[in-house]
Amino acid sequence: MRTPILAGNWKMHKTIAEALEFVKAVHGPLNDFPRVEKVICAPFISLAPLSEALRGTGIQLGAQNMHWEDQGAYTGEVSPLMLKGLCDLVIIGHSERRQLFGETDETVNRKTKAALTHSLTPIVCVGESLEQNRAGETEACVGEQVRAAFDGISAGQAVRIVVAYEPIWAIGTGIACPPEDANRIIGGVVRATLASLYGDAVAQAIRIQYGGSIKPDNVTELMQQPEIDGGLVGGASLNPADFVTLVRASAQAKGLA
């Protein structure tokens, strides 16, 4: 069975002090759910203090982006070498980075490879826009994003990647994708594309999250879907009580609590 992975994506929220307060509030209650992987993806500036604060808590730490080069003249960027040792995971190709900061399928692929090289677990985000969804292009768009992200990546590396299916129209809107639809795209498009690239056994081993307006009141139904292996959560991950609720509900929905 694939271990569920629930990741909070704080985006550009929380000062260092607020980040440390959050950890104090959640680490005790989250101890009750050792069979769900729990991740906080924080702004760069909080990663060093959080890596100390999270030691021994069973909560993993993730970055929200990185460059693909180890070092160089790239003002304002952070490299995988700098993240290595500080965090365990890194979000790659979030739709906000694709839409607002010029990320392309090619940079997503480069960053994914760089993360793997440096033993960081990439959370690779894919998902269609509202226009693509309305035009019936969801399958083609998501399939192509998956193929491009995994280009040149071996089966042995592919199993270490986490994919997050995040329909853009569901992010931050309060309107989550209906659970059955999310399950259908994750199984029928994301996992099916991975199966066409690597075979069924590898595709079955890769974890695929859903993301987009996950909240305490819809998380159970989403996590009950067999193809959904966890969530990437923005807004609802900022509140400690909500984050604990999301982890608890995920554990229960998967029969792990």
- Name the residues that contact ligand PGA, by CB under 6 A: 9, 166, 171-172, 211-214, 232-236
By C-beta, is 43 or 212 nearer to ligand PGA? 212
> What is the spatial distance between Cα 30 and Cα 203, in angstroms, rounded to a whole number?
29
By C-beta, is 63 or 233 nearer to ligand PGA? 233
Write out the two tokens for 22: 């959050």
Tell me if residue 94 is catalytic. yes
Residue in 165, 166, 155, 150 with CA at minimum distance from that of residue 204: 155
By C-beta, is 97 or 248 nearer to ligand PGA? 97
> What is the spatial distance between Cα 31 and Cα 27, in angstroms, rounded to a whole number?
6
- Closest contact distance (angstroms) between CB of 238 and ligand PGA is 9
> If you search the block for the tokens 């498009």, which residue do you land on?
189
Task: Out of 94, 96, 103, 128, pick the active-site residue.
Answer: 94
* Burial profile 147-159: b = 16 or more Cβ within 10 angstroms, e = fewer: ebbbeebebebbb
> What is the spatial distance between Cα 234 and Cα 243, in angstroms, rounded to a whole number?
10
By C-beta, is 115 or 198 nearer to ligand PGA? 115
* CB atoms inside a 10 Å sphere around CB 34: 12
55 CB-near residues (< 8 Å, 6+ apart): none
> Contact, 148 vs 108, CB < 8 A?
yes
Task: Out of 37, 96, 103, 166, pick the active-site residue.
Answer: 166
> Contact, 61 vs 39, CB < 8 A?
yes
By C-beta, is 151 or 221 nearer to ligand PGA? 221
- Closest contact distance (angstroms) between CB of 228 and ligand PGA is 14
Helix axes 44-53, 16-30, angle to 10 degrees: 40
- Closest contact distance (angstroms) between CB of 118 and ligand PGA is 23
The residue type at 43:
P
Active-site residue numbers?
Answer: 94, 166
